[in-house]
Amino acid sequence: MSIKNNLIMPTFSSIETEIFTEKILEDRKKSLLKLEAITKRALDIVGATMGILLLMPLTAIVYIMERVIGDKGPIFYTQTRIGENGKLFKMYKYRSMVVGAEKKLEEYINENEQLKQEYQKYKKLENDPRITKVGRFLRKTSLDEFPQFINVLKGEMTLVGPRPYLPQEKEEMNGYFKYITSLRPGLTGLWQISGRSEISFVDRLEMDMKYYHNRALRSDMKIIGKTIEKVIKKEGAI
């Protein structure tokens, strides 16, 4: 009797084969996601480093503008935002509003019902009386966002992702919260390239959910390219 005839060949049912195949595909998917996450972080570091190099001379220019035509208040402004997994962090910006702007907002919307409805819908005011002369220029050119390259380098933000929400907006995010905050918030994203100040809060949530389901490095690169185009054309900012 030959050795070959004594071998017992294993047999697999169709279900076992399907499970085995699914496991291989799942492991491959996890490996690709891990590689993509590493690549995304590497791009963040490179992009943030370049941004910070531009940030240094820009800060000197903003300082001079503030002293000449500004209100001579602080150049930088920090605001608490919701980060990845719901963790709070301090987001950096060039100050574009008067000192004590948050208290003044309450006064404005309590005194004007139309402004109150506008803020509830967009979480912004189109003709916000709190914005300074220098701040209006910074916002129009989106330069007020440049300090967030520091947040990106620190790992609190990424170049492309959902825009970080305010803590007081958590309740209004409803079921979207756990999905959107499972991602690292971005310096730019679908909201910024789709209209920004013209987009309602609800539509913004829908866009962030769309990004959650369809995120990929290729789409991130497209969003970065579109963001640069929008900044050059000064579209969507207020």
Predicted pLDDT of residue 11: 60
Q: Please provide residue 20's backbone torsions phi and psi, each rounded to the nearest 5 degrees.
A: -60, -45
Range list of H helices, the chain: 3-6, 14-69, 101-111, 113-122, 133-140, 148-154, 170-173, 177-180, 190-193, 201-214, 217-233
Contact by Cβ (8 Å): 37, 43:
no
pLDDT at 2: 47
Distance CA 44, CA 36 (A): 12
Q: What integer pLDDT is reported at residue 122 of this predicted model?
A: 83
Which pLDDT score is estimated for 1?
46
> What is the predicted pLDDT for the residue at 12?
57
Give the DSSP letter of residue 43: H
Q: pTM value?
A: 0.81
Alpha-carbon torsion (70, 74, 75, 80), positive or negative: negative
> What integer pLDDT is reported at residue 127 of this predicted model?
80
> Which sign, positive or negative, has the C-alpha torsion 128, 134, 139, 145?
negative
CA 45 – CA 150 distance, rounded (Å): 10
Residue 108: its pLDDT value, please? 82
pLDDT of amino acid 101: 83
Cα 45 to chain centroid, rounded: 15
User: Residue-wise pLDDT tens for the chain (238 aa)?
Assistant: 444 455 555 565 666 566 656 666 566 666 667 888 899 999 999 999 999 999 999 999 999 998 888 888 899 999 999 999 999 999 999 999 988 888 888 888 888 888 888 888 888 887 888 889 999 999 888 899 999 999 999 999 999 999 999 999 999 999 999 999 999 999 999 998 887 767 889 999 999 999 999 999 999 999 999 999 988 887 766 5
